[in-house]
């Protein structure tokens, strides 16, 4: 008796232990600064820090190449010329085609500009038009570089935390917020462009997630990993997996990771019936990254499966024994019939 009392005392003195999920003391009021966020009192999550394998959308607002810039295919040029033919003016945007040439129209034809600087292109175009016009005056401006289209797009953050901008190299974005990534991108692109401007947005929240676990002793537990965007609640989580299964009970709780290495369990009991039937939001908690929403199975289903699993070997053994007896008896009867027929 004294030994049992000592064991009970040691367990009672332990600092961290598993809680009874539905103990009434868990529902008692706690200090306001420790209250978990709920459906009607949500909080804003800290600034999202990008990690692999998030997906980023990068849009280019301004990319002016550093001088001296050489014209390339798919650049958009603004070309103006004075002294042209009256019915064939030159005052428009012209695209450098895949051959590096610009088509000035049927009256003038095509002229190759790829590989030239803006000043060189102006002189070459002027000389080209002098073959048709008396004294042309030409002005050329770069409106859009073909490189702009090559950067704009969606990018997967790779395993080593970088984004590959193809011919412009890689940028490390791991652990950075969207604004920090924007600054890092612009600083990196300054090697190639003059005062670049980009926008960055997260379109695939893949690194910060939560889990929904449906207990099922018959078919095995269902573990669903879902991305978290900041406003999910317990009801959202259950709805995301199609609701309760046929073997689920109304026993639901959140297992929330404890900061640091305290080794304790942080359990938030959920009153599923009150949330769904009474619209009571007091236990419809806001989910945080790393949360586990656990849906326990029905106790009767679990007990029935346990009994079936326990008695199944015995039942199969009895069936095999009965089958053996039936087979032996059939052979005996068949043998007697055979003998009775062959005796004539």
Q: What pLDDT was estimated at residue 260?
A: 67
Quickly list H helices, the chain.
Answer: 2-13, 118-129, 146-151, 178-189, 234-240, 272-278, 299-342
Q: Is residue 256 part of a domain?
A: yes
CATH number, residue 199: 3.30.1950.10
Q: Is residue 3 part of a domain?
A: no
Whether residues 59 and 165 share a domain: the answer is: yes
Domain that holds residue 280: 18-43+208-299
Whether residues 111 and 179 share a domain: the answer is: no
Which DSSP symbol is given to 233?
A: B
Whether residues 214 and 287 share a domain: the answer is: yes
Mode of pairing for the β-strands spanning 110-112 and 137-144: unpaired
Q: What is the count of structural domains for the chain?
A: 3
Q: Is residue 83 part of a domain?
A: yes
Whether residues 129 and 231 share a domain: the answer is: no
Last residue of a domain, one of 188, 204, 220: 204
Rounded-to-integer distance, Cα 237 and Cα 228, Å: 10
Whether residues 177 and 285 share a domain: the answer is: no
Q: Is residue 89 part of a domain?
A: yes
Q: DSSP string covering 129-143, please? A: HTTTSSS-EEEEEEE
Q: Is residue 253 part of a domain?
A: yes
Q: Is residue 276 part of a domain?
A: yes
Q: What pLDDT was estimated at residue 21?
A: 44
Q: DSSP string covering 71-101, please? A: --TT-EEEEEEEEEETTEEEEEEEE--TTSE
Last residue of a domain, one of 144, 171, 193: 144
Rounded-to-integer distance, Cα 293 and Cα 291, Å: 6
Whether residues 120 and 181 share a domain: the answer is: no
Whether residues 59 and 162 share a domain: the answer is: yes
CATH number, residue 291: 3.10.560.10
Q: Is residue 335 part of a domain?
A: no
Whether residues 114 and 155 share a domain: the answer is: no
Handedness of CA 112, 118, 119, 125 (dihedral sign): positive
What number of other Cβ atoms are within 10 A of residue 314's Cβ? 9
Q: Is residue 328 part of a domain?
A: no
**Which residue stretches of the chain have pLDDT < 70?**
1-34, 149, 260-263, 301-306, 308-309, 314-315, 318, 323-324, 331-332, 334-344
Whether residues 81 and 198 share a domain: the answer is: no
Q: What pLDDT was estimated at residue 283?
A: 94
Q: What pLDDT was estimated at residue 11?
A: 46
Whether residues 277 and 217 share a domain: the answer is: yes
Whether residues 102 and 163 share a domain: the answer is: no
pTM: 0.62
Rounded-to-integer distance, Cα 24 and Cα 28, Å: 7
Last residue of a domain, one of 156, 173, 204: 204
Mention every residue, 6+ apart, whose C-beta is less than 8 A from residue 76: 93, 94, 95, 96, 142, 143, 144, 146
pLDDT digits (tens, 9 = 90+) for 110-148: 999 999 999 999 999 999 999 999 999 999 998 888 877
pLDDT digits (tens, 9 = 90+) for 12-44: 544 444 444 444 444 555 555 568 899 999 998
Whether residues 101 and 178 share a domain: the answer is: no
CB 104 within 8 A of CB 110: yes
């Amino acid at each position: 008796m004294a030994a049992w009392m000592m064991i009970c005392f040691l367990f009672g003195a332990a600092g961290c232990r598993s809680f009874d999920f539905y103990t009434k003391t868990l529902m008692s009021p706690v200090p306001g600064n420790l209250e978990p966020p709920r459906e009607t009192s949500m909080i804003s999550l800290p600034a999202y820090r990008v990690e692999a394998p998030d997906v980023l959308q990068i849009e280019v607002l301004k990319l002016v190449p550093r001088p001296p810039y050489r014209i390339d295919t798919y650049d958009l040029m603004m070309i103006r010329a004075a002294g042209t033919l009256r019915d064939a003016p030159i005052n428009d945007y012209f695209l450098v085609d895949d051959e590096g040439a610009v088509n000035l129209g049927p009256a003038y034809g095509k002229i190759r500009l790829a590989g030239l600087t803006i000043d060189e292109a102006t002189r070459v175009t002027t000389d080209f038009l002098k073959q048709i016009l008396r004294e042309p005056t030409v002005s050329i401006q770069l409106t859009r570089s073909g490189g702009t289209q090559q950067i704009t797009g969606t990018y997967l953050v790779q395993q080593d935390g970088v984004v590959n901008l193809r011919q412009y190299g890689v940028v490390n974005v791991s652990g950075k917020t969207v604004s920090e990534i924007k600054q890092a991108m612009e600083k990196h692109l300054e090697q190639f462009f003059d005062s670049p401007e980009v926008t960055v947005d997260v379109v695939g929240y893949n690194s910060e997630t939560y889990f929904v676990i449906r207990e099922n002793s018959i078919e095995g537990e269902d573990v669903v990993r879902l991305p978290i965007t900041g406003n999910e609640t317990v009801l959202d989580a259950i709805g995301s997996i199609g609701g309760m299964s046929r073997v689920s009970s109304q026993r639901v709780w959140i297992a929330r990771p404890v900061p640091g290495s305290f080794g304790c369990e942080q359990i938030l009991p959920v009153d599923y019936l009150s949330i769904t039937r009474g619209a009571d939001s007091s236990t419809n908690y806001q989910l945080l990254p790393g949360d586990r929403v656990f849906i326990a199975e029905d106790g009767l289903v679990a007990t029935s499966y346990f009994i079936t699993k326990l008695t199944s070997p015995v039942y199969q053994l009895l069936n095999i024994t009965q089958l053996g007896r039936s087979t032996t008896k059939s052979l005996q009867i068949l043998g007697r019939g055979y003998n009775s027929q062959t005796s004539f």
